[in-house]
Amino acid sequence: MESPRKRRYTEEEYLAMEFASEFKHEFVDGQIYPWGHPDMLGMYDVQAMSGASLPHNTIAGNAFGLLRNALRGKGCRPHNSDMRVHIPLTGTYLYPDVLVVCGQPEILKNGKMDLLLNPVVIIEVLSDSTSDYDRSGKFMRYRSIESVRDYLLIDSRSIRAELYSRTATGQWTFTEILDPAGTVTLPSVSTELAMPELYEDVSF
């Protein structure tokens, strides 16, 4: 019998399963992963997940709140991890921790599920289990989305942020922020996020 870990799913199968599931899952290279756990290969029928850590959730919430206040009235809007992003080039479906859409959202409807196509800013909070994937495989897929201009990684284990920004010529620049009193500048939305506010109420 074929192992459920080895089975490859179609996008249609994933979407049908996700529509019926009470948990969130991501879809990458024919495999279905519990959200936030890319090392749990292909396990759709997961009945429980450990969930993100308190620092992870706090940082994601802080980032969303700061962006919500900073972007109000500017034609851009942040969304939390309930918004699914569809990456047509790779046939991937992911749930970023935080994202920003500017102008009219481009939505691909699938039943009652909204699949976002045009995020401008994507933010992921790094943890022990996801940091390598967030920096490599996820970034490779996210940067195939033409609308994405800033990809921000915020560490949940120490005060550190990594920002990748796409230039007008299509090149990506890298900025590392290590100063606990520093700021993260998101060029695409002309917004600064203060590191003390991103890490507010976070204890290491």
Using a 10 angstrom Cβ sphere, with 0-12 exposed, 13-18 middle and 19 or more buried, the burial of residue 39 is exposed
- CATH code of 54-198, in short, is 3.90.1570.10
CA contacts within 13 A on the Cβ side of 62: 19
Query: What 3-state class would DSSP assign to 195?
Result: helix
Minimum mean pLDDT range among 30-44, 87-101, 120-134:
30-44
Q: How confident is residue 70, by pLDDT bands cut at 50, 70 and 90?
A: very high
pLDDT for 4 beyond 70: no
pLDDT for 36 beyond 70: no
Q: How confident is residue 34, by pLDDT bands cut at 50, 70 and 90?
A: confident
Per the rule left: phi > 0, alpha: psi between -120 and 50, beta: everything else, 27 is: beta
* Tokens standing for residue 7: 């089975």
The pLDDT, as a whole number, for residue 81 is 93
Chain segment 167-176, per-residue pLDDT in tens? 999 999 999 9
Residue 33 and residue 130 in contact, taking contact as beta carbons nearer than 8 Å: no
Residue 43 and residue 8 in contact, taking contact as beta carbons nearer than 8 Å: no
* Tokens standing for residue 114: 């909204």
Q: Where in the chain is the domain with CATH 3.90.1570.10?
A: 54-198
